[in-house]
A and B are shown apart, each in its own frame.
Chain A
Amino acid sequence: MTMQSTLARRQLLNAMGLTASSLFLPSLAGRRFARAATTPKRLLVFYTPHGPVNQRWQMRPAGPHTWSDTKEKPDRSQELSFSLKSQTEDKWSQILKPLYPLRDKLLVVEGLSMASALLDVNTNNHNAGTSHALTGAKMVYPGGFKMEGAGGGSSIDQLVADKIADPNRIRSFYFSTGGWSPVFRGKIEQRAETAPDRAYDKLFPVSATGDATLDLVKQRRPSAIAAVAQQYKKFAARLASDDRKKLEDHFALVSDLERSLAFRSAEGGKCVQRPSSAPAPAPGRTVVDVSKDFGGLITAAFACDMTRVAVLQMGQPGSGELVTALNIHTDLHADVAHGASPDRPKQYGQMAGYYAYLASNFATVLGQLNAVTVDAGRTLLDDTVCLWLCELANGPHEVHDIMAVVAGGGDAFSLGRYVKHAESTANPRSANGAKIGPAHNKLLTSVANVFGVETQLVGSPASDFVSKRPSAANFDLTGVLPLMKT
């Protein structure tokens, strides 16, 4: 075993959570990236179902509970920014407290609205949140039915992958432990890998099967795929426009596969050696344990530059996990989330506990990235913008006053801070003058911009919504989000 492979193996074990120490890996430091050291190299999107409890995640300099759970937020119209670094742990909110150890590398954003979802056609908000959270785009209806909308544009991970993915490697990961897909490429809903053991096999294929023929087949597989790709190219030309587009898309993806397979079986194999065991299959395990395996695989793949973009989606825990981890003996969606209002303290507390559980899970994944040192004083987390977005704003399924947390990415954004945006625009769905904050499109645009995606808007322009929602004309969805940099 060479020194390089030894290091790579240790690095992977570390990423998988199998060792505690960080490693210094000079071979990785800036070797593959031509960008300036301050430019983030990778994007991780952490996406969770439902939404938190506002009064249990939002923070103020004086502490987490500056207003009563049962009262309207008193400073809704105000803008606010304060340092997280100086906040003692006791002043952290219940939900965000698990992230306290990483406070220097966090930027918590309060006051955003999923304005594009509010401006869009009314549907159930799980559908709206899933479609808008990572796209900010007006929904489309592949099946032709308005209750089954889908993202009307690429999600932020795919936009960034378009810019930074190496075409000869794996374009992006989409790992999930369950739930509806928030990931879209163009307007096509993407499907997630849900089995960590399968993902492991794909990343670290065995070099020898013990069967000479099958070993040769494995080596030669890219040439067979190249032949397949040519069939798509030729066959597409014989079809009408919509049908042709489908096969052209298929052709492009087969071509991607051809290149990434060649990489995985050649260069990828040199970068890391497979650990002694693959993750256990997902069925029967908690979504948190499975997501930790996925976090380890993402960390390893990021460290070895096998891919540069990943989405990790948390599924809703099963009943066993709810009981043992959260002491919730009922239906999380119907009974807890829907009932999570201040006048139902039990459900309210359970929802807050659930979201603290998810924050702890996010902290675990961030910790996995932070445990791999890529340069003196820099970890993988410092090169990776991590963005936590939720399907909804809160238990009762609203989509304004959403929670957003940015972690890592070096100085792409000014970290170690908590910012609150002024919520002073009329909610287009509300008749009683309720106010909402800036559109989350701006956050997505900010993230896209730091990766070099030159756009003023991620998502759909307000004009796209005017025909159904005239008040959309008053909304500004474009531009970057203020307060992200000091």
Chain B
Amino acid sequence: MLLAPMACTNRGDGDSGDGGDGGGGTSSTGGAGGEKNDGGTGGQSVQAPGACGPVAPAPLRRLSRLEYAGSIRALFPKTFPPDADGVWRLDNHAMNFQRAGQASARRVNLFQEPAEDVLSHGFANRAKNMNPTSLHIDRFNDVAALVAEHVWRTRKQGAGDAFLPCDTQDLACGTRFVEQFGERAFRRPLTAEEKTDFVGLFEQELKANTFDVAVVLTLEAFLQAPQFLYRAEIGDSGTLDKGAVKLTAFELASRLSYLLWSSSPDEELMAAAKSGDLLDTKTLETQARRMLSDKRFVFMAVEFFRQWGDFDRIFSETYRRRPGFPSLAAGHSVPSAYRTAARDEMQWFVEWLMTDGDASIETLLTSRKSRGNGYLATLYGPGVPLDEKLDAALDKTVKDIALDAQQRSGYLTRALFNWTYSRFDTPSPPLRGAFVIEKLLCSTFPPPPADALSVAPPPPAGPTNRELFEANVKARSDCPVCHKSLDGIGFGFENYNEVGGYRTLDKGRPVNANGELFDTDVDGKFNGAVELSAKLASSETVRHCMMKHLYEYATGRDAEGTVEDEGIDSCRLKALDQLLLEKKGDLREALVGFVTSPDFVWRPAP
């Protein structure tokens, strides 16, 4: 059974009740019942090849924040170098640089400088949401100027990237600069008209001002041009087949590099595009496998999980202060080092999973690999609740951490997940259950009614957290419908307190972490999140759901239809899911399968 609907599902067209809200829950995931994307096809029916029928939509994609940063890093690899181990990470120190000539001495972060992307299901790369707004245009202008000035200054100081191909300060050098830098920025050779336009700009500024001014302004123009900010695909008109065209080799190279690296093609991939070899499926697969084993793959892989799990939500103000830290004075937040440690553990974990690990959902949910500093060790040790005064003595070095097999397994048993999906001062079974339902089972449920009351902070003595939630749900006749599934899962996490520390007692009484899964392919009772994780790891629904997330991330659009209603993507998802099954759940192999499928090389004709 795939994508089994929960008993309490929301297809999105209900019209009863007064709404309420999601209770700060996870961003919803699903896709059923939505309005159709037409994906830039203009509504025309296109055929194209493949066992799954008409070619899939391929709406125009603008660079996301991540892809923007990745593209700039590729253009200026010495100015924005990777970490010491060669991996691109978002917290790389070179991503921060000083803004020139402003009254405020604000430092700039290459990733954060462009305007925020609009999220869909928590993901920040949906083409339909990548619309231009005045802030986006303003910020793209800002960041283009900042980067151009920064790389020019760095070059003047004798460091950084030699983006100029010559030393003579004349139009001939400017012309070569336009040709060579333009090809790297646009991920293809410039057309004759583009070359004329950009050389024209360079020449205009050279005549009116100086060579350096012409260089900086031309850089700025390249970095704001549609050919750079958008991944436009025109296709090869010679391959037109009933409204579909094959991508050109350069377009294919861009699809591949932005999928696997969140960045532009490197020299080897560009060479394969120039020669046309990339149009051959075997070469395409060879390149894909090379890129999957390259350290730049980490940039994409971590981001996929970071968006899926909303890793940074732990820093949300609402979730900062916790009574798990009894020594904190009123109004003080939990030291950010604990949150950072919890977040960093998961970033490391998914990085390990997708590179040195087997890249499977099973491992994601059941591995006890852990690595972190003394803050993380404290969260996982017997020392919770924490003591702020002891922080200074904590070991700041990062080491492997041995997790207790009875207490911890994979993602759902770690500090980040359990801390993030807690309320202000209590674990939240519904929030934790909602994450599993939405993000692992790809099912949904309606919002709570408007007048649903949250659970008041528990008194020092009295009912346990579970008892409080149970009483609230029982108090209304309409609550148990959804909470049966939500809390059936969520109560399984009761061994984790509001900062993800392990507990066996709640209000002095043994924790009851018994739960039950309903309306899934792995229904049944379980005790604690370790058992729950094992059940979910064996679920076909979970495997298919994660495949769907990855497919949507790869295509930049929400999948249409479900297995039940046979939307345009269901056949493709079935095929990829079968491949994932054959490849022992290795998501990297699913990516290779996607890359070598007809969908990856065809698109609707413009």
Query: Which A379-432 residues have C-beta < 8 A from chain B?
Result: 396-399, 429-430
Q: Is there an interface contact between A147 and B423, defined as CB atoms closer than 8 Å?
A: no
List B contacts of A318 (CB < 8 A): 317-318, 320
Shortest beta-carbon distance from A465 to chain B in Å: 10
Query: Which A104-139 residues have C-beta < 8 A from chain B?
Result: 117-118, 121-128
List A contacts of B540 (CB < 8 A): none
List B contacts of A399 (CB < 8 A): 18-19
- Given A193-B135, A341-B451, check contact A243 B60 (CB 8 Å): yes
**A257→B144 CA distance, assembly (Å):** 14
Q: Is there an interface contact between B453 and A338, defined as CB atoms closer than 8 Å?
A: yes
User: Is A266 engaged at the interface, CB distance under 8 Å to the other chain?
Assistant: no
List A contacts of B118 (CB < 8 A): 142, 189, 191
- Given A121-B15, A220-B209, A225-B141, check contact A145 B28 (CB 8 Å): yes
A122, A208, A399 — which one has the most chain B CB atoms within 10 A of its CB? A122
User: Is B14 engaged at the interface, CB distance under 8 Å to the other chain?
Assistant: yes
**A255→B460 CA distance, assembly (Å):** 61
**A232→B106 CA distance, assembly (Å):** 31
Q: Is there an interface contact between B136 and A191, defined as CB atoms closer than 8 Å?
A: yes
User: Is B54 engaged at the interface, CB distance under 8 Å to the other chain?
Assistant: no
Closest to B108 in A: A198
**A101→B128 CA distance, assembly (Å):** 47
User: Is B527 engaged at the interface, CB distance under 8 Å to the other chain?
Assistant: no
List A contacts of B12 (CB < 8 A): 121, 123, 145-147
> Which of B219-227, B276-284, B372-380 lies at the binding interface?
B219-227
Q: Is there an interface contact between B138 and A202, defined as CB atoms closer than 8 Å?
A: yes
Shortest beta-carbon distance from B161 to chain A in Å: 18
Q: Is there an interface contact between A231 and B40, defined as CB atoms closer than 8 Å?
A: no
Shortest beta-carbon distance from B19 to chain A in Å: 4
Q: Is there an interface contact between A335 and B129, defined as CB atoms closer than 8 Å?
A: no
User: Is B454 engaged at the interface, CB distance under 8 Å to the other chain?
Assistant: yes
Interface size class of B (residues with CB under 8 A): 35 or more
User: Is B447 engaged at the interface, CB distance under 8 Å to the other chain?
Assistant: yes
List B contacts of A41 (CB < 8 A): none
List A contacts of B212 (CB < 8 A): 213
Q: Is there an interface contact between B444 and A147, defined as CB atoms closer than 8 Å?
A: yes
**A214→B35 CA distance, assembly (Å):** 48
User: Is B534 engaged at the interface, CB distance under 8 Å to the other chain?
Assistant: no
- Given A227-B201, A242-B42, A338-B454, check contact A145 B18 (CB 8 Å): no
Q: Is there an interface contact between B21 and A124, defined as CB atoms closer than 8 Å?
A: yes
Q: Is there an interface contact between A144 and B137, defined as CB atoms closer than 8 Å?
A: no
Closest to A208 in B: B101
- Given A142-B129, A242-B38, check contact A320 B331 (CB 8 Å): yes
Q: Is there an interface contact between A254 and B137, defined as CB atoms closer than 8 Å?
A: yes
User: Is A88 engaged at the interface, CB distance under 8 Å to the other chain?
Assistant: no
List B contacts of A193 (CB < 8 A): 135
**A316→B141 CA distance, assembly (Å):** 30
**A396→B23 CA distance, assembly (Å):** 11
A141, A172, A242, A399 — which one has the most chain B CB atoms within 10 A of its CB? A242
User: Is A8 engaged at the interface, CB distance under 8 Å to the other chain?
Assistant: no
List A contacts of B447 (CB < 8 A): 122-125, 147
List B contacts of A429 (CB < 8 A): 16-19
Q: Is there an interface contact between B133 and A253, defined as CB atoms closer than 8 Å?
A: yes
**A200→B103 CA distance, assembly (Å):** 9
Closest to A248 in B: B132
User: Is B59 engaged at the interface, CB distance under 8 Å to the other chain?
Assistant: yes
User: Is A241 engaged at the interface, CB distance under 8 Å to the other chain?
Assistant: yes
Q: Is there an interface contact between B138 and A257, defined as CB atoms closer than 8 Å?
A: yes
Determine which of B101, B218, B450 lies in contact with A211 in the assembled complex, contact meaning CB atoms within 8 Å: B101
User: Is B606 engaged at the interface, CB distance under 8 Å to the other chain?
Assistant: yes
List B contacts of A316 (CB < 8 A): 317-318
Shortest beta-carbon distance from B12 to chain A in Å: 3
**A225→B144 CA distance, assembly (Å):** 11
List A contacts of B163 (CB < 8 A): none
Q: Is there an interface contact between B321 and A189, defined as CB atoms closer than 8 Å?
A: no
Q: Is there an interface contact between B331 and A323, defined as CB atoms closer than 8 Å?
A: yes
Q: Is there an interface contact between A126 and B104, defined as CB atoms closer than 8 Å?
A: no
Q: Is there an interface contact between B134 and A228, defined as CB atoms closer than 8 Å?
A: no
List B contacts of A125 (CB < 8 A): 18-21, 447, 450
Q: Is there an interface contact between B133 and A209, defined as CB atoms closer than 8 Å?
A: no
Closest to A320 in B: B331
Shortest beta-carbon distance from B469 to chain A in Å: 13
User: Is A230 engaged at the interface, CB distance under 8 Å to the other chain?
Assistant: yes
**A463→B526 CA distance, assembly (Å):** 50
**A118→B15 CA distance, assembly (Å):** 9
Determine which of B136, B210, B605 lies in contact with A216 in the assembled complex, contact meaning CB atoms within 8 Å: B210
**A121→B48 CA distance, assembly (Å):** 36
Q: Is there an interface contact between A242 and B149, defined as CB atoms closer than 8 Å?
A: no
Q: Is there an interface contact between B224 and A225, defined as CB atoms closer than 8 Å?
A: yes
User: Is A486 engaged at the interface, CB distance under 8 Å to the other chain?
Assistant: no
Query: Which A237-278 residues have C-beta < 8 A from chain B?
Result: 238-243, 246-247, 249-250, 253-254, 256-257, 261, 274, 277-278
Closest to A324 in B: B331
Closest to A118 in B: B18
Q: Is there an interface contact between A220 and B213, defined as CB atoms closer than 8 Å?
A: yes
Shortest beta-carbon distance from B393 to chain A in Å: 26
User: Is A377 engaged at the interface, CB distance under 8 Å to the other chain?
Assistant: no
List A contacts of B423 (CB < 8 A): 331, 334-335
**A206→B38 CA distance, assembly (Å):** 46
User: Is A329 engaged at the interface, CB distance under 8 Å to the other chain?
Assistant: yes
**A397→B22 CA distance, assembly (Å):** 11
Q: Is there an interface contact between A206 and B102, defined as CB atoms closer than 8 Å?
A: yes
User: Is B10 engaged at the interface, CB distance under 8 Å to the other chain?
Assistant: yes
Query: Which B48-68 residues have C-beta < 8 A from chain A?
Result: 59-60, 62
Closest to A128 in B: B19
Q: Is there an interface contact between B451 and A396, defined as CB atoms closer than 8 Å?
A: yes
Closest to B330 in A: A323
List A contacts of B606 (CB < 8 A): 238-240, 243
- Given A125-B21, A228-B225, check contact A197 B104 (CB 8 Å): yes
Q: Is there an interface contact between A334 and B34, defined as CB atoms closer than 8 Å?
A: no
User: Is A234 engaged at the interface, CB distance under 8 Å to the other chain?
Assistant: yes
Determine which of A190, A204, A205, A224 lies in contact with B133 in the assembled complex, contact meaning CB atoms within 8 Å: A190
Shortest beta-carbon distance from B23 to chain A in Å: 7
Query: Which A127-173 residues have C-beta < 8 A from chain B?
Result: 127-128, 140-148, 171-172
Q: Is there an interface contact between B457 and A330, defined as CB atoms closer than 8 Å?
A: yes
Q: Is there an interface contact between A247 and B201, defined as CB atoms closer than 8 Å?
A: no
**A117→B21 CA distance, assembly (Å):** 13
Q: Is there an interface contact between B331 and A319, defined as CB atoms closer than 8 Å?
A: yes
Shortest beta-carbon distance from A460 to chain B in Å: 16
Query: Which B234-263 residues have C-beta < 8 A from chain A?
Result: 234
**A210→B101 CA distance, assembly (Å):** 7
Q: Is there an interface contact between A143 and B120, defined as CB atoms closer than 8 Å?
A: yes
List A contacts of B227 (CB < 8 A): 231, 235
Q: Is there an interface contact between B38 and A147, defined as CB atoms closer than 8 Å?
A: no
Q: Is there an interface contact between B424 and A242, defined as CB atoms closer than 8 Å?
A: no
Shortest beta-carbon distance from B122 to chain A in Å: 10
Shortest beta-carbon distance from A322 to chain B in Å: 8
Please list the residues of chain A having a beta carbon within 8 angstroms of any beta carbon in chain B. 117-118, 121-128, 140-148, 171-172, 174, 185, 188-193, 195, 197-198, 200-202, 204-206, 208-211, 213-214, 216-217, 220-221, 223-225, 227-228, 230-232, 234-236, 238-243, 246-247, 249-250, 253-254, 256-257, 261, 274, 277-279, 281, 316-320, 323-324, 329-335, 338-339, 341, 344, 396-399, 429-430, 468-469
29 A-B pairs (CB sep. < 8 Å): A117-B19, A122-B15, A122-B19, A140-B35, A141-B34, A142-B120, A147-B10, A148-B27, A148-B121, A174-B135, A201-B102, A201-B103, A210-B101, A211-B100, A213-B213, A225-B224, A242-B40, A242-B42, A249-B131, A253-B134, A257-B141, A316-B317, A319-B333, A329-B330, A332-B318, A333-B318, A334-B24, A397-B450, A429-B17
Please list the residues of chain B having a beta carbon within 8 angstroms of any beta carbon in chain A. 10-24, 27-28, 30-31, 33-42, 59-60, 62, 100-104, 106, 115-116, 118, 120-121, 126, 128-129, 131-138, 141, 145, 148-149, 152, 193-194, 197-198, 200-201, 204-205, 208-210, 212-213, 216-218, 220-221, 224-227, 230, 232, 234, 317-318, 320-321, 330-333, 423-425, 444, 446-447, 450-454, 456-457, 558, 560, 604-606
